[in-house]
Amino acid sequence: MKKVAILGSTGSIGTQSLDVVSRFPDRFEVVGLAAGRNAAGVLEQIRRFHPRVVSVADEAAARAVRAEAPAGVEVLSGEEGAVAVAAHPDVELVVAAIAGGAGLRSTAAAIEAGKAVGLANKESMVLAGELLMARAAAKGLPILPVDSEHSAIYQSLAGHNRAEVRRLVLTASGGPLRAVPAAELAGVTPERALKHPNWSMGAKITIDSATLMNKGLEVIEARWLFGVEPSRIDIIVHPESIVHSMVEYIDGSMVAQLGISDMRGPISYAMGHPERLPLQLPPLDLAGRGRLTFEAPDPTRFPAFTLAYRALERGGTSPAVLSGADEAAVAAFLAGRCRFVDIADLCGEVLEAHVPEPVRSVEQALAASDWGREEAERRVARRAR
C-alpha cells in the first residue's frame, strides 16, 4: 500500500486525487493533507480518509479544524505546516497541487525528504525547475507529471530512447477565446474568459488558458522535466482536447497520448506509477467525435505564450519573474483593474525590466517571483491613474 500526502487537498486536483484514493482503498493510504482555509472541506476529508497530519493555511482555520477533528490527528498551519506534511517520514508519494508559487517550498521539501512527487504545481518547475530536477536526480527520485500535457509526454517517452527525440509537441485547447476576433479581445470580461470549453479549473489557470500563458508556462515546465531545449518544444492548438500531447522522434514518427478530458487519468498514472489503475472512466469514442483538428497558435492575438520562450532565453530568474507578473496581472484582470489584452503587455514589460540572475536557491526563486508580482502591481496602478 502506497502512503501518500495530498498538498492542495481541497482544490480541483486535490479532490480528484482523493477520488482516485477512494477508488483504490487497498492501494493507497492518506498520511497527510494540506489545504487552504476551507475548514469544513478539510474536516470532511479527515472523516473519510483518516490522515495522521493535516495542515491548513492559517491558525484561525487550524483552530476550527482542531475543534472538530478526531483525536490523534495532528493539525498544523501555514507554509511550515504544508512543508511538514510533505516531509512526513511515513509518506512515500507527495501529490503537489498547491496553486502558484506558494507550492514551491513544500514541493522542494518533499524532494529534500526523499519523496516521489506527483507534480501538479507547474510553478515549482517554472520558478526553480533546474534546481529541483538536479536535487531529485541526485537523490534518484521520480518527478511524475500530473498536468495532462506533461503526463502525455511522459507516457509517450516511455520505452523509447531519449536521445532519439526530435521535439515535444504540447497541445492547447485554445481556451474560451480561441475564435474571438482580435478587435473584440480588449472588451472581454472575466466572466467570458472563465468559460473554458473543455476543462473545469480554477480561475487563475482558466484565464492563463485564455491568454495561452498557461501553455507558455508549460513549455518552461517541459524544458526542465524532460531536459529538452526550448527550440525543440512546440505548441499546437487542438480544440477537442483529445490528443493531450505528442513526441516526435528522429525518424519522423510521432507518439501521442489520447484520452477523454478527465484529470483523474493523469493523476492516477502518477499515483499508480509504474502501474496503470483500472479507473472505469468512460471510454474515448473517436468515431463519435468524428474529427480532430489542429492549428498553429496565433502570437499576434495571444502573445503571452511567446514570453515563456523569451524568459527561457534570458535564463536564470526570468521565468520566476514572468510567473509572478502573470499572477498579479491575472488578479488585476479578474478584479476589473486591467483589460484582458493588458495581461500579456504587463508581463512583457516586467520581464524586460528584470535583470536575471542564476537560480541558486528556492528562496531566491521565490524572491524573483515576488519582485515580478510587485512590479506588475505597480504598473497596473500606474496605468489606472
Q: Compute CA distances 277 → 15, 29, 272, whole Å.
A: 17, 15, 6
| Domain annotation for the chain: domains and CATH numbers | 2-145 (3.40.50.720), 150-262+288-384 (1.10.1740.10)
**What pTM value is reported for the model?**
0.94
d(CA 383, CA 385): 6
Q: Decide: 175 and 265 in contact? Cβ < 8 Å.
A: no
**Sheet with 2-7: strands ordered across:** 74-77, 53-56, 28-34, 2-7, 93-96, 116-119, 143-145
Per-chain mean pLDDT for the chain? 95
pLDDT of residue 383: 84
Q: 252-299 pLDDT, tens per residue?
A: 999 999 999 999 999 999 999 999 999 989 999 999 989 999 999 999
Neighbours of 79 (CB within 10 A): 17
Confidence of residue 304 (pLDDT cuts 50, 70, 90): very high
Which residue type does 340 have?
F
Q: Decide: 94 and 118 in contact? Cβ < 8 Å.
A: yes
Q: What is the dihedral of CA 372, 377, 383, 385, to 10 degrees?
A: -150
Confidence of residue 385 (pLDDT cuts 50, 70, 90): low
d(CA 46, CA 158): 36
- Greater confidence (309 vs 202) lies with 309
% of the chain surpassing 70 pLDDT:
99
User: Averaged over 12-18, what is the pLDDT?
Assistant: 95
Q: Decide: 337 and 380 in contact? Cβ < 8 Å.
A: yes
d(CA 221, CA 234): 13
User: Averaged over 328-345, what is the pLDDT?
Assistant: 96
- Greater confidence (50 vs 289) lies with 50
- For residue 245, give the C-alpha cell: 500531447
- Residues near 366 by beta carbon (within 8 Å), at least 6 away in sequence: 101, 104, 105, 127, 320
Report the interhelical angle of 304-314 vs 213-226 (nearest 10°): 40
Q: Decide: 86 and 7 in contact? Cβ < 8 Å.
A: yes
Q: Decide: 54 and 29 in contact? Cβ < 8 Å.
A: no
pLDDT of residue 151: 98
% of the chain surpassing 90 pLDDT:
93
Neighbours of 287 (CB within 10 A): 5
Instruction: Indicate the range of 67-81, 116-130, 185-199 predicted with least confidence.
Output: 185-199
Q: Decide: 245 and 153 in contact? Cβ < 8 Å.
A: yes
Confidence of residue 102 (pLDDT cuts 50, 70, 90): confident
pLDDT of residue 374: 98
- Reduced to 3 states, what is the DSSP secondary structure of residue 31? strand
DSSP 75: E
- Reduced to 3 states, what is the DSSP secondary structure of residue 153? helix
pLDDT of residue 195: 84
Residue 199 predicted with pLDDT over 80? no
User: Averaged over 58-76, what is the pLDDT?
Assistant: 94
Which element (helix H / strand E) includes 170?
strand 165-172
Q: Decide: 115 and 87 in contact? Cβ < 8 Å.
A: yes
User: Averaged over 234-248, what is the pLDDT?
Assistant: 97
Q: 147-185 pLDDT, tens per residue?
A: 999 999 999 999 999 999 999 999 999 988 998 999 999
User: At CA 202, angle to CA 241 and CA 222, rounded to 5?
Assistant: 55
Residue 317 predicted with pLDDT over 70? yes
Q: Decide: 96 and 245 in contact? Cβ < 8 Å.
A: no
DSSP assignments along 236-295, one per residue: EE-TT--EEEEEEETTS-EEEEE--S-THHHHHHHHHTTSPP---PPPP-HHHH-----B
